[in-house]
Amino acid sequence: MSDKKDIELIAELVPPGSRVLDLGCGSGELLAHLRDHRQCSGYGIEIADANVLACTQRGVNVIQLNLEEGLAMFEDRSFDVVLQLDTLQHLRNAERMLLETARVGRVGIVSFPNFAHWPNRLRIATGRMPVTKALPYEWYDTPNIRVGTYADFEVLARKNGLQILDSFGIQDGRVRRRRPNLTASVGVFKFERA
């Protein structure tokens, strides 16, 4: 989610002045953007030393924590928005983290690479795993241990009683609302606990 346009598209989902928790916040780019352009406050969670340093340099609040250990540190509904961008697919306990996101935030926003994007489907049809901009790894070295599709997420959300408030795909820095499961390499969902 380091793509600047993608960040701006997602930032637009965050109401101005929100108190935000960004799970797997990377270098803090989105948090800084939300702070500077949408008057948001909040914190990022990161495990990587280099990212913790980058956030500190940006003056973004960052808490070094392993998301696999859960969000016990945070109270129920203590944030307006909990972001989980390009992170879910790296987590062993992805489903639990999704529920934690919905518990801690009034609204959750997730984004992840859509495995059903048509080039991926084509590649699978040829018998090989896809290697694309959104999924740039080989099958044997990918950190994406939870590869799912846009449509899969809708099923998971329903299963966990999450109400989808908005959803779309992103392809080449543009929002795709028509057949996102086929036409977008990134899926974005905004949801709340039903």
Partner 1 sequence: MGSVGDVKPQVMPFTEPLPLRSGARLSDYTLVYETYGSLNAERSNAVLVCHALNASHHVAGTYAGEARSEGWWDNLVGPGKPLDTNRFFVIGINNPGSCFGSTGPMHVDPATGRIYGADFPVVTVEDWVDAQARLLDRLGITQLAAVLGGSLGGMQALSWSLRHPERLRHCIAVATAPNLSAQNIAFNEVARRAIVTDPEFHGGHYYGYRVVPKRGLRVARMIGHITYLSDDAMEAKFGRGLKAGVPGYSTQDIEFEIESYLRHQGDKFSEYFDANTYLLITRALDYFDPAREFGGDLSAAFATARCKFQLVSFTTDWRFSPERSREIVRALLDNRFDVSYAEIDAPHGHDAFLLDDARYHGVLRARFDNIAREFGA
- Contact residues toward partner 1 (CB under 8 A) are 19, 41, 43, 49, 52-53, 55-57, 59, 61-65, 73-75, 78
Q: Distance between CA atoms of 58 and 124, rounded to whole angstroms?
A: 41
Q: From 184, 185, 180, 166, select the one nearest 10 (Cα to Cα).
A: 166
**Which residue, 9 or 20, has its beta carbon nearer to partner 1?**
20
- 26 phi/psi in degrees, rounded to 5: 60, -130
Which residue number, 71 or 186, has a Cβ lying nearer to partner 1? 71
User: Counting Cβ atoms within 10 Å, is residue 194 exposed (0-12), middle (13-18) or buried (19+)?
Assistant: exposed
Distance in Å, CB of 73 to partner 1, minimum: 5
Contact status, residue 192 vs residue 164, Cβ threshold 8 Å: no
Integer Cα distance of 16 and 87 in angstroms: 23
Do the Cβ atoms of 176 and 168 come closer than 8 Å?
yes
Specify the residue, 52 or 110, whose C-beta has the smaller distance to partner 1: 52
Cβ 57 to partner 1 shortest distance, Å:
4
Q: Return the structure tokens found at 153.
A: 């997420």
State in angstroms the smallest separation of the CB of 61 from partner 1. 5
To the nearest whole angstrom, how small is the minimum distance from the Cβ of residue 111 to partner 1?
24
**Alpha-carbon span 172 to 167, nearest angstrom:** 17
Nearer to partner 1, 65 or 116 (CB): 65
Q: How far is the CB of 24 from partner 1 (least distance, A)?
A: 16
Q: By C-beta, is 79 or 191 nearer to partner 1?
A: 79
